[in-house]
Structure 1
Amino acid sequence: MMTTPPNPARVATIRQEDPAQPEVVALLRNGEADSAALYPAESNHHMILEGLRASNVRFLVARDAEGRAVATGALVEHGDWAEIKRIWVEEHARGRGLSRQMLDALLAEADRAGMAILRLETGIVSHTALALYERTGFVRRGPFADYTDDPLSVFMERRLRAA
């Protein structure tokens, strides 16, 4: 009898957690450092830790089979639409589909919350992220909410249901 080996690309869990845990704060800082290496400060739009703990935010953490935090993502609710923030996968865990798994988890959260539209901002040199968003139905649009035109930013949205 042949058995299917476990898929090492799958994380053990993705669930809502407090972003203030030291291990998770380290992931957030790693993401900020990566962005700082790619873009000037005025083009980085990271949500601060206190904001990630707000009542309108669903902050998700992906953990590997050993329980280590390896990825983050947040859904920030704004009425009938939500913004995706802070998707980050640790470098050693990349190339295994974790960004897609986190995005799928955030899409499921948005669906459960009844969101009509998802929006996001990412940088122009974040090619892997842009390709993922385009593959999953996001389309480019202009700035939204408090964002302004920035030649280093790409703004996108995906309709989940009729508004």
Structure 2
Amino acid sequence: MPVAVAVESPLTDEFRSLIGELNTVLLALSPPEFCFHMTAEQMAEAATTVFVAREGSEAIGCGALRRHGDGIGEVKRMYTRPGHQGRGVGGLILTEIEALARREGLSRLVLETGHRHPAAWRVYERGGFCRCGPVLDYPDSPFSVFYEKPLTA
């Protein structure tokens, strides 16, 4: 069955379940003070657009675009359920995030991810992101890896 990615509300029980799973994964890999979660309520604010990947009616992954000043967009809350990993779902979500950022005229995408997330690194690197130093207001720490991608020439 094909995977479809669309903008959805983060204020559903189904989405809360997805980010609950993501939070559990992240807390198993990094100290809590270096897990930069957003709640569903924070994700429902106007500066953030949430994407959900579905296979049929089942939500199998998510990600979000959070807008900051100076033309910067941030990739947030990327997650694919374990039974669906390795099938390109993360790449599909990332493509939709980037497409929206480009339509809105953002000049750069950035993100912070954990130091023990090689599968996530592959998704970002395949999507054209390059490692960089700390972005936005994230602390420079051994628990974080930062990426960026310019969207304009």
Instruction: Report the TM range for the smaller structure's normalisation.
Output: over 0.9
Aligned match of 2:138 in 142, 147, 158?
A: 147
Q: Which runs of 4+ in 1 moved over 4 A?
A: none
Aligned match of 1:74 in 40, 60, 64?
A: 64
Mapped partners of 2:54, 2:135: distance in 1 = 32
Name the residue aligned to 2:25: 34
Shift of 1:54: 0.6
**Given that residues 130 and 148 in structure 2 are in contact (C-alpha distance below 8 angstroms), is that contact kept between their aligned partners in structure 1?**
yes
Name the residue aligned to 1:5: none
Mapped partners of 1:154, 1:88: distance in 2 = 16
Mapped partners of 2:44, 2:136: distance in 1 = 20
Percent sequence identity over aligned pairs:
37
Quick check: 1:19 aligned with 2:10? yes
| Aligned residue pairs, count | 152
Taking structure 2 as the reference length, the TM-score comes to: 0.95
Taking structure 1 as the reference length, the TM-score comes to: 0.89
Mapped partners of 1:25, 1:136: distance in 2 = 26
Name the residue aligned to 1:58: 49
RMSD: 1.1
Shift of 1:34: 0.4
Mapped partners of 2:29, 2:105: distance in 1 = 34
Cα deviations by residue, 1:55-75 (Å, 9 ceiling, x for unpaired):
01111111112x111111000
Name the residue aligned to 1:89: 80
Mapped partners of 1:47, 1:144: distance in 2 = 17
Which ranges of structure 2 fall in alignment gaps of 5 or more residues?
none
Mapped partners of 1:115, 1:32: distance in 2 = 28
Secondary structure in structure 2 of the residue aligned to 1:103? helix
Mapped partners of 1:100, 1:38: distance in 2 = 22
Which ranges of structure 1 fall in alignment gaps of 5 or more residues?
1-7
Mapped partners of 2:50, 2:118: distance in 1 = 24
Name the residue aligned to 2:35: 44
Whose Rg is larger?
1
Name the residue aligned to 1:108: 99
**Given that residues 74 and 109 in structure 2 are in contact (C-alpha distance below 8 angstroms), is that contact kept between their aligned partners in structure 1?**
yes
The one-letter code sitting in structure 2 at the alignment partner of 1:70 is I
Secondary structure in structure 2 of the residue aligned to 1:128? helix
